[in-house]
């Protein structure tokens, strides 16, 4: 009797959590049981950082051919008073120091490399964002502050290789609406009440809107500079890079990987890009004719370019020449920063699945790549393993594991172990954890 009552309580809690305990497998249109990759968070990956280093807003993740995981984070995203006391003068405490901008982990989660920040011969972006590794083992870094107009390339060990895009002189008269940096993505806490309450009265150490340097105007027609490049994909065969450009511009730019020359650009639906201020997203309005913040560009094995149009909550798919193929709206009720933050492909030969990082709904969507139908999702809001705050970037390794980074105050990198294919029993799996694991 007692036991029965307890079970009833448990079931209620589970249901309200959206776990849907006991619900049958989802069935597809042809009556087949729907299968999807299954994941489980590894709560002890990566290993603790050395030297009292802490990770700032983590805005990008990439995995190289050896399954080393590269994370880019923002050393400017800390609260000086409460978070990095050891770095003050005089120090206010023994912890903590900002970790270097770029961290490299081996598959076991050991930190095996770290570099980044200002140096000789280049201007480090004022808000580094996005990281990608090309077939020549060069590491590409973007920047999404109001003044970042370049893409930087380094060796994996952090040696400067070259910069693409002209440094643009600031234009103080730039229209604010079009040129304001993308605060949600670059890891700057919301203004006003949020920042004050979240940090309890300490807003120090934050950049963002209204910062010192006047913003550069968006110019999606420019053929010699970028406007907040956020992410990159590469086509080794044609020597082309696809640039999500980005936080001020509203376009995909295709770049010669050797010279940096911009070869072609396009906006939403493959049309000429449009930098006009975009009306706030409404689920009731027809899909916007232009891009919002463009936060990813990913090239599939069959030659399609998948683009994250973040605040428009959509994925747009193109041929490499910019011809529009199709689009899908993900979580169409999402407002604010939007639902489509970053995309990674599953590692099967067909890349059957898209994994979409959704930093506004605090989850990862698992999407059928061909149909663009969301199949299921995992994750929820929170600070414990397998939960998210502003999951901003996503990547997969050769074994099919997923890595995510969290921006804003999430400030983590997490690993989700690929556990094979499994029947889908719920649209929302909640936190993917193994409560039966040997502990």
Partner 1 sequence: MTTRRNLLLGGGLVFGIAALGVGQAALEGSMQGQLVQAPRFEVDPMWPKPLPNHWVFGNVIGIGIDARDHVFIVHRQDALVQGAENGLELKLSECCVPAPPVVEFDPEGNVVGSWGGPGEGYVWPASNHGVGIDNKDNIWIGGNGAGDSHILKFTHDGKFLQQIGIPGKAADSRSTEHFGRVAKISFDTAAGEAFIADGYLNKRVAVLDINTGAVKRFWGAYGNAPSDTTLPAYDPTKPPDRFFRTPVHCAEPTPDGFVYVCDRVNDRIQVFRKDGSFVKEKIIAPLTRGDGSVWDIAFSKDAAQKYLFLADGKNQRVYVMDRQSLDILTTFGDGGRQPGQFFAVHSIATDSKGNIFTTETYEGKRVQKFAYKGMGSVPKNQGTVWPKR
Residues that bind partner 1 (CB under 8 A): 9-10, 13, 16-18, 43-44, 46, 48-49, 52, 54-55, 79, 81-83, 85, 90-96, 184, 189-190, 192-195, 197-200, 331, 333-337, 339, 360-363, 380-387, 389-390, 408-412, 430-431, 433, 435, 437, 439
Q: Which has the closest alpha carbon to 275: 264, 288, 286, 290?
A: 290
Tell me how far, at minimum, the Cβ of 242 lies from partner 1, in Å: 28
Q: Please say which residue, 302 or 435, places its beta carbon nearer to partner 1.
A: 435
Burial class (CB in 10 A: 0-12, 13-18, 19+), 302: exposed
Tell me how far, at minimum, the Cβ of 439 lies from partner 1, in Å: 6
Q: Please say which residue, 143 or 410, places its beta carbon nearer to partner 1.
A: 410
Q: Is the dihedral of CA 209, 213, 218, 224 positive or negative?
A: negative
Strands 53-54 and 97-98: parallel
Q: Please say which residue, 353 or 388, places its beta carbon nearer to partner 1.
A: 388
Q: Please say which residue, 58 or 151, places its beta carbon nearer to partner 1.
A: 58
Q: Please say which residue, 187 or 228, places its beta carbon nearer to partner 1.
A: 187
Q: Please say which residue, 310 or 347, places its beta carbon nearer to partner 1.
A: 310
Strands 314-319 and 324-329: antiparallel
Tell me how far, at minimum, the Cβ of 430 lies from partner 1, in Å: 6
SS (HEC) of the chain: CHHHHHHHHHHHHHHHCCCCCCCCCCECCCCCECEEEEEEEECCCCCCCCCCEECCEEEEEEECCCCCEEEEEECCCCCCCCCCHHHCCCCCCCCCEECCCEEEECCCCCEEEEECCCECCECCCCCEEEEEECCCCEEEEEECCCCCCCEEEEECCCCEEEEECCCCCCCCCCCHHHHCCCHHHHCCCCCCHHHHHHCCCCCCCCCCCCCCCCCCCCCCCCCCCCCCEEEEEEECCCCEEEEEEECCCCEEEEEECCCCCEEEEECHHHCCCCCCCCCCCCCCCCCCCCCCCEEEEEECCCCEEEEEEHHHCEEEEEECCCCEEEEEECCCCCCCCCCCCEEEECCCCCCCEEEEEECCCCEEEEEECCCCCEEEEECCECCCCCCECCEEEEEECCCCCEEEEECCCCCCEEEEEEEEEEECCCCECCCCCCCCCCC
Tell me how far, at minimum, the Cβ of 157 lies from partner 1, in Å: 25
Residue 314 bridge partners (DSSP): 309, 329
Tell me how far, at minimum, the Cβ of 419 lies from partner 1, in Å: 16
Tell me how far, at minimum, the Cβ of 341 lies from partner 1, in Å: 12
Q: Please say which residue, 34 or 95, places its beta carbon nearer to partner 1.
A: 95
Q: Which has the closest alpha carbon to 307: 256, 253, 262?
A: 253
Q: Please say which residue, 197 or 213, places its beta carbon nearer to partner 1.
A: 197
Is the separation of the CB atoms in 225 and 208 below 8 Å? Answer: no
Tell me how far, at minimum, the Cβ of 118 lies from partner 1, in Å: 24
Q: Please say which residue, 34 or 196, places its beta carbon nearer to partner 1.
A: 196
Tell me how far, at minimum, the Cβ of 14 lies from partner 1, in Å: 8
CA 401 to chain centre: 16
Q: Please say which residue, 54 or 305, places its beta carbon nearer to partner 1.
A: 54
Q: Please say which residue, 38 or 363, places its beta carbon nearer to partner 1.
A: 363
Tell me how far, at minimum, the Cβ of 56 lies from partner 1, in Å: 11
Tell me how far, at minimum, the Cβ of 10 lies from partner 1, in Å: 8
Tell me how far, at minimum, the Cβ of 176 lies from partner 1, in Å: 19
Q: Please say which residue, 138 or 407, places its beta carbon nearer to partner 1.
A: 407
Tell me how far, at minimum, the Cβ of 324 lies from partner 1, in Å: 27
């Amino acid at each position: 009797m007692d036991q029965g009552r307890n079970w009833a309580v448990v079931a209620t809690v589970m249901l309200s959590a959206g776990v849907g305990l006991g619900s049958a497998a989802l069935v597809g249109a042809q009556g087949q049981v729907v299968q999807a990759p299954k994941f489980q968070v590894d709560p002890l990956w990566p290993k603790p950082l050395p030297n009292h280093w802490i990770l700032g807003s983590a805005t990008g993740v990439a995995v190289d051919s050896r399954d080393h995981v590269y994370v880019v984070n923002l050393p400017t995203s800390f609260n000086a008073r409460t978070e990095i006391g050891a770095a003050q003068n005089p120090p206010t405490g023994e912890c903590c120091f900002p970790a270097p901008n770029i961290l490299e982990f081996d598959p076991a989660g050991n930190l095996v490399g770290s570099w980044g920040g200002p140096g000789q011969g280049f201007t480090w972006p004022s808000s580094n964002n996005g990281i990608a590794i090309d077939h020549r083992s060069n590491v590409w870094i973007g920047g999404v502050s109001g003044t970042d107009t370049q893409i930087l390339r380094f060796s994996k060990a952090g040696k400067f290789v070259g910069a693409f895009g002209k440094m643009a002189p600031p234009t103080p008269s730039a229209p604010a609406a079009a040129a304001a940096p993308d605060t949600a993505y670059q890891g700057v806490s919301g203004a006003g009440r949020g920042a004050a309450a979240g940090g309890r009265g300490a807003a120090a150490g934050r950049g963002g809107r209204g910062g010192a340097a006047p913003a550069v105007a968006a110019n999606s027609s420019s053929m010699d500079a970028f406007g907040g490049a956020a992410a990159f994909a590469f086509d080794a065969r044609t020597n082309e890079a696809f640039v999500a450009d980005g936080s001020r511009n509203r376009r995909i730019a295709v770049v010669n990987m050797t010279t940096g020359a911009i070869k072609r650009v396009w906006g939403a639906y493959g049309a000429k890009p449009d930098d006009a201020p975009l009306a706030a997203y409404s689920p009731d309005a027809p899909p916007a004719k232009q891009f919002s913040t463009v936060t990813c560009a990913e090239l599939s094995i069959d030659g399609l370019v998948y683009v994250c149009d973040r605040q428009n909550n959509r994925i747009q798919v193109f041929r490499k020449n910019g011809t529009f193929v199709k689009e899908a709206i993900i979580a169409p009720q999402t407002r604010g920063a939007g639902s489509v933050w970053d995309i990674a492909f599953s590692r099967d030969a067909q890349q059957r699945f898209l994994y979409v990082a959704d930093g506004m709904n605090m989850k990862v969507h698992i999407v059928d790549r061909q149909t663009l139908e969301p199949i299921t999702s995992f994750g929820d809001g929170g600070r414990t393993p397998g939960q998210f705050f502003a999951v901003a970037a996503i990547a997969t390794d050769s074994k099919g594991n997923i890595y995510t980074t969290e921006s804003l105050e999430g400030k983590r990198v997490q690993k989700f172990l690929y556990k094979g294919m499994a029947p889908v029993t719920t649209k929302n799996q909640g936190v993917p954890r193994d409560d039966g694991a040997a502990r």
